[in-house]
Amino acid sequence: MSPRIYGTPSTSALASFEVDELGPDPRSILAGVHPALVATRTSPSPAGFAWYGLGAPALPGVQQAAVVGRALCVLQSAAAAGDLVDFRIVTGAYLTDLARPVE
């Protein structure tokens, strides 16, 4: 079963992020994160940027938050590697703490 990464407008988002509107589609980077992850392009967004909402509505609360946090970490890594232009977490940055191992 392939991940459902193209959500519907009714999907509740726990986090949102932005990327350069003309850059690659970030949903392709998220394809392997979790089958329940939904990334939906939202509108409106500032000129030159594309905003996306992230959620995993099929999962219970804490598990959903952890999956969304992991997705944000994957996007941060892709941006650091130069695969996403102008990546910025708009809301939900605190969720990345749920995806990192406790040291």
pLDDT digits (tens, 9 = 90+) for 14-69: 999 999 999 999 999 999 999 999 999 987 888 999 999 999 988 988 899 999 99
Per-residue tokens: 97: 């703490």
Q: Decide: 101 and 72 in contact? Cβ < 8 Å.
A: no
Map tokens 């392939």 to a residue. Answer: 2
Look at the pTM and tell me if it is higher than 0.95: no
pLDDT of residue 4: 41
pLDDT of residue 44: 82
What strands, in cross-sheet order, belong to the sheet with 49-55? 38-42, 49-55, 15-20, 88-91
pLDDT of residue 1 exceeding 50, the answer is no
| CA within 13 Å, CB half, 39 | 26
pLDDT of residue 2 exceeding 50, the answer is no
Ramachandran angles phi, psi of 98, nearest 5°:
-75, -20
Q: What confidence category does residue 99 fall into, taking pLDDT thresholds of 50, 70 and 90?
A: confident
pLDDT of residue 6 exceeding 90, the answer is no
Q: Decide: 84 and 95 in contact? Cβ < 8 Å.
A: no
Question: Residues 73-79: what's their mean pLDDT?
Answer: 95
pLDDT of residue 102: 46
Per-residue tokens: 70: 């992991």
